[in-house]
Structure 1
Amino acid sequence: MQTSGTFKVALALTLSALLFPLPASALSKNETPHLARAEPGINAQSLSGAYLAAKAAQSEGALDEASRYYEKALTIDPTARPVQVEAMFAFLADGRFDQGAELASKLLDDSDAGKVARIALGIEALRDGEYDAAINHFDLSDSSELDQLLLGHLSAWAQVGKGDSEGAIRRLDELKGPPWFAIFNLYQKGLIYDYSGQPDEARRVLKILLDDKSSVQTSPDTYLAASEAMGRIELAAGNTEAALAGTEYGLALAPAYDPLLFLNKAIEAKETVQPPVATVQEGAAEALFVLGQVINRGDGQQVALLYFQLADALNENSSPKLLSSLAASAEQGKQIDRAIRYYEQIPENSAYRRTADLQMGLDLWFSDRKEEGKTLLAKAIADHPEDLQSHLAYADVLSADKEYTKSSEILARALELAPENGPQNWNIYYQTGIAFERLKEWDKAEPNFRKALELSPDQPQVLNYLGYSLVDMDRNLDEGLDMIRKAVRLRPNDGYIIDSLGWAYYRLGRYDDAVTQLERAVLITPSDPTINDHLGDAYWQVERFREARFQWQRALDGTPAPEDNVVADIKEKLENGLTPAKEDSGETAPDKPLPEKRALADQPADDTSAN
């Protein structure tokens, strides 16, 4: 699906140049005082100084700080058009909607920002119940397919606000486009029919959507939302069995999807639940949300964030699922504190609370608040003792913190909770194997690695780890080397796995082959200290002594820095070279990390192309 058109044209000037990486706003429109953090003083005294400070803040991903510098720049010269344009985009993306809309009113005729300005003003009009004005602003020419769909949906909800639901449905029927339009149009029709008091028609169109399994490939999030809407509509009508049948569509796709599991509990208890959407503004926000979820990957993440912020502007109170998406956007922008603040706003009784707790625990751990993170994840297990994901998340951070004994215990419980012998269980066995290998209990590690390969024979991580370990321990050398070669074939552009192959050749005394592979690995991952150290060793063995010392020095200067014992080993090699004893014994630096141990969280997607 293309994301060009109305948004992309106007965003090209600013989002690509100014907002990478783009953090989500940590500030809810209703909770600014609560969420405000200590801020540096805005000391710029000139327009150029404030502008450059804003640009610098943006380059670091600090969009909130950039917004404050734009505010300063605009107090110095409120009429500076380039500052107005860039500040509007920054304010909208940072969740400062009212400030963005104020600037939008001045930029309607701007060739670069005019389209986004009109959309922002249309959202403002929709929020304020000025539905004719909203429709007028959304009437844009030269739009992409995606924009036509979004603007058509927003205009349809404005039409509903005018009391013309039939006209809204006609507007959706007139939205002609590629086949992927269907799921979104059907979902919005279902919501509009239900909101306008026509539940039979809502059931009819939602069932068409849910019975079309191709909808799942187009937008799993919309499919799940439609399943939830069907359950709510049937429950409101007192049709308990039909309500459960409605949620079953989504649970067949995602058995652990909390919103549907929570709804099922309400259905079984015959509780009163909220309708799919309760206001026109909620309906329009849902249109923005589901399309934002579709494009929320790669280059589309920046536009998706803007969709989420516009949806937030329409809602009087941020919905839990929108808070979750804004938190995820903040995580993508490496704004961890921001993400945590979003998660903290999700109510304790929300269907999204469990996932929020897990993500918050992981975020705390990765932001160096490790004990807080582990405490929160341990609490998640205590609160949800049958939840597989809680156990896996906790085991991950325990392993990363080198608490391998405790991690292996949690993984054993995770295996009890997992579907029996399912192919997806390979990763549990793999992580268990790592824990035991790190504990130097190879008799327990190897069966877990082999079970992981039995369940999923082409996992390059497992092939690499097991193959490398076999070679490193001088066991089953041919089998181990074949495993590593296969891993390289599966991931020919992974520097860490290629490093494994090169180091395996080194251990076997095949130094020329080692140099060839390790040079490839360094080209792909040039700053990794372990790979540079390995290449230095290989160069020494083929009597390229000057190059060896150069690589060892690079290893010392690499990122992340080597561990202290490795630093000592490298310094000794820089001073004395490789001694004959080391050449003959094949010793390596103590606790030398394997490639997969160094980069488990950062592995690239599988690449199955040939070398």
Structure 2
Amino acid sequence: MCVGGPALAQQADGHAYVRAMAADAEGDVQAAVVAYTRALENAPDDEMVSLRAYRAGLAAGDEALATRAAQALRAGLAPPPDAVVYLLAVAVRDGDEGDIKLLMGEIEGGPFDFMLPTLRAWQAYTRGKDPFPPLDAPADTGLTRRFNIENRALLSLLTGRIDAGSRTIRALVGGGRASEDLQLDGAVLLVAAGHRAEARALVVGEDSEMAAYLQRMGRKKPDLSFGFSRMLLRVAGDLAQEDAVPLSIMLTRTGLLLDPRDDRLRLLLADALSRDGADPVALETLEAIPANSPYADQARIVSVDVLARAGRTEEALEHAREIANRRNASSGDARSYADLLAANGRYDAAALAYALALSRPGGRDDWALHVARGMALDAAGRWDAAVTALRRAVALAPNQPVALDALGRAQIERGVDMAAATAMIERAHELQPDNPAITDSLGWAYYQQGEFARALPLLEAAAKGAPGSTEINEHLGDAYWRMGRRFEARYAWRAAAVYAEGSDKARIEAKLRHGLDGSDD
């Protein structure tokens, strides 16, 4: 979870640090917190201990440890910028005006500098002053401009400019320049200001659960804490699919410190914790989302991913099945269940779940669903049903390279209408020449028809594009062997064997021992 080397060689109890690192590496967040607390007591001036303790405290939700460690880091020569942001949130929550001023100064000029105009605007509003001058200053970056525009709209709702603020929010969300979270934040502010009809008009598709949520969120008077937490939510949402897990954890934990009621932050925090290996804490975070929250369904969906990452496959499948079969479940819910079944080799059940997805609104003409069902049926050994599903996908999307490749590849593997199958894959390759899987399919189609010289450059290109693919490297090794390039064949097979499992691994190891024809030569 954390990075860096040991730094307690001179300390009386370096064992606490070693235990902390071990627990950290195992994803045992609670044990790591206990050990890092002891290590920090022993080495309060050690920056690496402080950094690790800070990260562990955030992951566990241990505010005392995170704050103490962040303060130790701040006292150092170069504190991590996110630790300063965290401490600013603590100061805002506690109403420490002196520290707020100091910490904003420390943030200035750093990577979180884009937050300052918005924070100063909300600070002015909280003090009863005009919030807009900080947002009128020239913005140095696109990120600053984005937040300035969004928060000008939100603050307009609180300062009697409801129509203008609502129009801006709708335009931003409708144009794809802001997420629907901005609409929800606007509705919360309108409820807080007593404008419930306007709040209902701003949130599309409001139901009883959402109405109750808005009422709960709107009970507190909007202030700097509100603006700060919503900014952290936005940034965390932007990072949700990025490889920035420690920062995502910091942003969401800090947002919840400012506003413990926000279930959207909990969803993002749980996902980040799971990606960091802290699955028990992730599940606890999801369980904190009330059953009557409009995000309760989403929490159940995220719990499936958490359980799957944790290796708790049966529980993940059971959760996914319940979601797929609940009342008003969508085509996407059934597809998620089917994808999980297929990923775990349960192809017959996956085909049934894909059929359920196809039967629901929006599913029938979804070519990608037909492809997924066809591939599951094929893997289950039900070729006649599989080819029917794959042909339906191509009929729905004749210029979709994935659909063309799926049908062509399935036919090639069975030697069915090879000329037509090859033509389909050639067309897919024309449409998407940089797709390693499609490039591999075309090379394999030529290989299967004995055109080894024609196949080889395609398979080499595919392996270059996807060097970790077991299947592509095995195909490349086979082609090298047929071309008499034995050394290169074994090199490719060794690469294929790295991630191979089960029967695939046994087959590749046999090729490494005996070659393609059962002999070394």
Q: Please indicate, yes or no, whether the TM-score normalized by the shorter chain is above 0.5.
A: yes
Deviation string 1:510-530 (CA, Å, 9 cap, x unpaired) is 122333333333444445443
Q: Deviations over 1:409-451 (max 9, x none)?
A: 33233223232766xx222121122223234443432343233
Q: Is 2:107 aligned against 1:151?
A: no
For 1:362 and 1:115, the matched residues in 2 are separated by: 31
- Superposition pairs for residues 392-541 of structure 1, below 5 Å? 392-419=335-362, 425-488=366-429, 492=433, 494-541=435-482
Q: Conserved in 1, the CA contact under 8 Å of 2:481 and 2:489? A: yes
Per-residue CA distance 1:368-414 (angstroms, 9 max, x = gap): 32221222222223433442232111111222333333333332332
Change (3 A) 1:386 1:546: closer
Q: Following the alignment from structure 1 to structure 2, what is the Cα–Cα distance between the partners of residues 187 and 266?
A: 25
Query: How many angstroms apart in 1 are the aligned matches of 2:47 and 2:192?
Result: 49
Matches within 5 A, 1:79-158: 79-85=45-51, 87-88=53-54, 91-92=57-58, 95-108=61-74, 110-113=76-79, 116-140=82-106, 142-143=108-109, 147-158=112-123
**Corresponding residue number in structure 2 for 1:77:** 43
Kindly tell me: are residues 218 and 305 of structure 1, through their superposed partners in 2, closer, same or farther at Cα, counting changes over 3 Å?
farther
- Check 1:464–1:18 CA distance in 2 against 1; reply closer, same or farther (3 A cut): farther
Map of 1:328-407 to 2, 5 A cutoff? 328-407=271-350
Question: What TM-score comes out, normalization by structure 2 length?
Answer: 0.82
CA distance in 1 between counterparts of 2:210 and 2:13 reads: 57
Deviations 1:563-610 (A, max 9, x none): 23x4554455456544499xxxxxxxxxxxxxxxxxxxxxxxxxxxxx
Q: Greater relative contact order: 1 or 2 (C-alpha under 8 angstroms, separation 6 or more)?
A: 1
Deviation, 1:336, is 3.8
Question: What is the CA–CA distance in structure 2 between the aligned matches of 1:415 and 1:466, rounded to whole Å?
Answer: 19
Residue 343 of structure 1, CA deviation: 1.7
Shift of 1:508: 0.7
Report the CA distance shift for 1:126/1:233 in structure 2 as closer, same or farther (over 3 A). closer
1:72, distance to aligned residue in structure 2 (A): 3.7
Distance in 1 between residues matched to 2:28 and 2:429, nearest whole Å: 38
Instruction: Note the residue ranges of structure 1 that are not aligned, 5 or more in a row.
Output: 1-13, 20-41, 252-259, 582-611
Q: How does 1:144-223 map to 2 (within 5 A)?
A: 147-161=112-126, 164-174=127-137, 176-177=139-140, 181=144, 184-185=147-148, 187-189=150-152, 191-192=154-155, 198=159, 200-201=160-161, 203-213=162-172, 216-223=175-182
SS in structure 1 at match of 2:78? coil
Alignment check: 8 A CA contact 1:377 1:393 kept: yes
How far has the Cα of 1:326 moved from its partner?
0.4
1:206-355 equivalences in 2 (<5 Å): 206-213=165-172, 216-226=175-185, 228-229=187-188, 232=191, 236-237=194-195, 239=197, 242-248=198-204, 260-261=206-207, 274-275=217-218, 278=221, 280=223, 281-298=225-242, 302-315=246-259, 317-355=260-298
Aligned residues: 516
Q: How far did 1:321 drift?
A: 1.0
Q: Give me the identity figure in percent.
A: 24
How far apart in 1 are the matches of 2:345 and 2:226? Answer: 46
Aligned-partner residue type, residue 299 of structure 2 = A
Q: Provide the secondary structure at the position in 2 that maps to 1:412.
A: helix
Task: Give the superposition deviation at 1:126.
Answer: 1.2
Contact 1:134 1:155 in 2 (8 A): no
Partner of 1:593: none
Q: Distance between the aligned counterparts of 1:51 and 1:455, measured in 2?
A: 59
Structure 1 residues 294 and 365, CA gap change in structure 2 (3 angstroms): closer
Moved more, 286-295 or 425-434: 286-295
Query: Structure 1 length as normaliser, TM-score?
Result: 0.71
